[in-house]
Amino acid sequence: MTATATTRPVLINGTWRDADVASTFQATDPNSNTKLEAEFPVSSWKDCDEALDAAADAARQLRKLPAAKIAEFLERYADRIDDAKDALVEAAFSETGLGKSPRLADVELPRTSNQLRAAAAACRTGNWCMPTIDTKAGIRSMYEQLGPVCVFGPNNFPFAFGSVSGGDFAAAIAAGNPVIGKANSSHPETTRLFAEQAIEALKETGLPLATVQLIYRTSHADGEKLVSDHRVGATGYTGSRGAGLTLKAAADKAGKPIYLELSSVNPVVITPGALAERFDDIVGEFATSVLMGTGQFCTNPGLVLLVKDANSEKFVSEVAEKFSSSAAGTLLSPAVAKSLSSSVTKLTEFGAKVVTGGGEPESGRCAYSNTLLTASAQDFLSNPEGFQTEAFGNASLIVTADSVKQLCEVIANLEGNLTGCIYSAASGDEDTYDSVAFELTPKVGRILNDKMPTGVAVSAAMNHGGPYPATGHPGFTAVGVPGSLLRFAKLTSFDNVRASRLPVVLQDKNPTGETWRLVDGTWTTSDLG
């Protein structure tokens, strides 16, 4: 099958060309729940195979380039993204329904370009490589390029987690790897516009043109083949648990690292003391956190744990009031609306009660009522797996326990999550905090105090990760430098390697004068000797 004249081209080996088309698809404008005009190709294996060959070749070329060249590309690309803001925002609004401003134009876009710049800075200094020197043993080690990285971006951050613009992309490139981006099917045009900027930036900075490639969709079988291909170094995937676990099984079998960000209900514990002390503030913070972006954040607080008292009941009713009096935002796609509705139905079948919201998705646009559900801890404990069904979107479940002890029992039955929050009183709550934190911390990647989990700072100390099934590995973060880069790297020791043959970052002279290196147990920016 060949592409029709209106089918968008793929970007393979530096050229925008017609895809080898298995079929085509169109994205939906969730604002009107109607199909958008542009047709996108579902690529056959031939496209993947050519992209893999080109990426393998680009990887070889990238290994010969100084890190500063890669940094230049990331910076130039960042500037181009800033310049192309209007078109990107327009496309993303049509494809995702996310607010143009502030969300897309003033929050997500600058975050995206700044993330690329942060990755560039790490690349430039080589700090992310963790250069380690043992002068006595004559051994030096560092993290370095792993090989071509496949990036499967999610639906909910068309810019900041985009397949050819987001965190995984920036990390993979900064670690010296070419990227094969698999666009999220709900915003292919947005992704294409990014790739247009990327290829121009590659040309401007003299990098191999196959450093960034883009396909839009493949068959499931080809997706599995892609992540397990011998030419691939690793894969970054953010999305649904089902598809993610299928890819994981394929990659695991081939011994290829795959970093997954799957699902998370992000438990929020609010102690009776905290509710008594800051009731209104907490109601407000929680409702804002759930409804912001129509609840479509990886770290959306989908599960609240309370201890039963007068305030806990009042909390439910006041949150319900906030939910019902707020307009329901637009959801990313018909699939998201359908999945949200289906998750709410499942939760009620397990025994959760709908306090407000529920029902069927709207028809004129992709939307669903702001939904609050409740259950007792006893209910939860009778079916922990069921009650942890993720309701991705503007919905949350409040579980009320009879005691702190029972609340801890609920926590002990939680799966791995990205985040866990504990709200407690300014004083007098330390015993409760200790009990709760002791159970909750091992279950989550990030533990927060008195703060909702939405909002993931790009910080060296950030862990946007967590134990399975929140992610595929408890030791890695998808956000923050250098952590996010280390996923796409191999560790290499240079044992008795002659001085002139060492990578620049491991030579006696500190390559930048400001690169941190662990020399004989001491972190230093000095030259050796």
Binding positions for a copy of itself, 50-69, rule CB under 8 A = 60, 63
Question: Given the rule CB under 8 A, which of 330-338, 347-355, 387-395, 431-439 is the region that contacts a copy of itself?
Answer: 431-439
Distance CA 157, CA 333 (A): 13
Distance CA 392, CA 304 (A): 15
Which residue from 94, 113, 141, 389 is in contact with a copy of itself, where contact means CB under 8 A?
A: 141
For the chain, what is the largest distance between any 2 Cα atoms, rounded to a whole number of angstroms? Answer: 73
Q: What residue type is 470 in one-letter code? A: A
Convert 409-435 to b/e letters by CB count within 10 Å (16 or more is b): bbbebbbbbbbbbbbbbeeebeebbee
Residue with Cβ nearer a copy of itself (97 or 467): 467
Tokens 């390559």 sit on residue = 511
What minimum distance in Å lies between the beta carbon of 36 and a copy of itself? Answer: 36
**Per-residue mark of binding to a copy of itself, 99-138 (x: CB under 8 A):** ---------------------------------xxx--x-
Residue with Cβ nearer a copy of itself (359 or 438): 438
Residues numbered 5 to 24 that lie near a copy of itself (CB under 8 A) are none
Q: Both ends of the chain: CA-CA distance in Å?
A: 64
Tokens 């250098």 sit on residue = 482
Residues numbered 341 to 400 that lie near a copy of itself (CB under 8 A) are none
Indicate if 261 belongs to the active site.
Answer: yes
**Per-residue mark of binding to a copy of itself, 256-295 (x: CB under 8 A):** xx--------------------------------------
Sequence-distant (≥ 6) Cβ neighbours of residue 421 within 8 angstroms: 266, 267, 268, 269, 301, 447, 448, 449, 451, 452, 453
Residue with Cβ nearer a copy of itself (250 or 395): 250
Residues numbered 236 to 255 that lie near a copy of itself (CB under 8 A) are 248-249, 252-255
What minimum distance in Å lies between the beta carbon of 12 and a copy of itself? Answer: 23
Helix (H) or strand (E) holding 152: strand 149-152
**What are the structure tokens assigned to 190, written together?**
């947005």
Indicate if 366 belongs to the active site.
Answer: no
What minimum distance in Å lies between the beta carbon of 266 and a copy of itself? Answer: 12
Residue with Cβ nearer a copy of itself (33 or 271): 271
Residues numbered 466 to 505 that lie near a copy of itself (CB under 8 A) are 467-469, 472-477, 483, 486-487, 489-498, 501
Which of 183, 204, 173 has its CA nearest to residue 485?
173
What minimum distance in Å lies between the beta carbon of 408 and a copy of itself? Answer: 12
CB contact at 8 A, 485 and 130 = no
SS3 for 166?
coil
Eight-class DSSP state of 308: -
Distance CA 410, CA 383 (A): 10
What minimum distance in Å lies between the beta carbon of 442 and a copy of itself? Answer: 7
The residue count for binding a copy of itself (CB under 8 A) is 72
Query: What's the sign of the alpha-carbon dihedral 362, 368, 371, 376?
Result: positive
Residue with Cβ nearer a copy of itself (33 or 419): 419
What minimum distance in Å lies between the beta carbon of 146 and a copy of itself? Answer: 6
**Per-residue mark of binding to a copy of itself, 401-430 (x: CB under 8 A):** ---------------x--x-----------
Distance CA 91, CA 97 (A): 10
What minimum distance in Å lies between the beta carbon of 135 and a copy of itself? Answer: 9
Rg (CA), the chain: 24
CB contact at 8 A, 289 and 326 = no
- Work out the number of other CB atoms within 10 angstroms of the CB of residue 363: 10
Residue with Cβ nearer a copy of itself (84 or 497): 497
Residues numbered 439 to 468 that lie near a copy of itself (CB under 8 A) are 441-442, 444-451, 457, 459-463, 465, 467-468
Residue with Cβ nearer a copy of itself (22 or 448): 448
Which member of 298, 366, 408, 421 is catalytic? 298
Q: Point out the residues that are catalytic.
A: 261, 298
